[in-house]
Amino acid sequence: MAEGTGRKERLSIWFFVGLLPLLYGLILLPYGIYEAMGHEAPTTLHQLHPTLWWGLLLLIFGAFYVIRFRPGKG
């Protein structure tokens, strides 16, 4: 039950599990796009754009969990 809200609503831990990768994805994806535009760091595999792909993956994963387990649905 959510404390202090006056409603008998349960908050799922999976909502918060999804919130963290969603936030990380929102940080990494724009930076990955910036790197893909030609500002990449001189690393061994920079041509694969790992920041872009991990940002996109985390954004999708986090959005799925946040939407699936959002409070107040149903």
Strand, coil or helix: 19: helix
pLDDT in tens, 33-53: 999 998 888 889 889 999 999
pTM of structure:
0.80
User: What confidence score (pLDDT) does residue 4 get?
Assistant: 53
* Positions of E strands within the chain: none
Q: Could you identify the residue written with the tokens 């760091």?
A: 41
Report the C-alpha gap between 11 and 47 in whole angstroms: 41
What is the pLDDT, as a whole number, of residue 43? 87
pLDDT digits (tens, 9 = 90+) for 3-29: 555 666 688 999 999 999 999 999 999
25 neighbors 59 (Cβ within 8 angstroms): yes
Answer for the pair 1, 8: CB distance below 8 angstroms, yes or no. Answer: yes
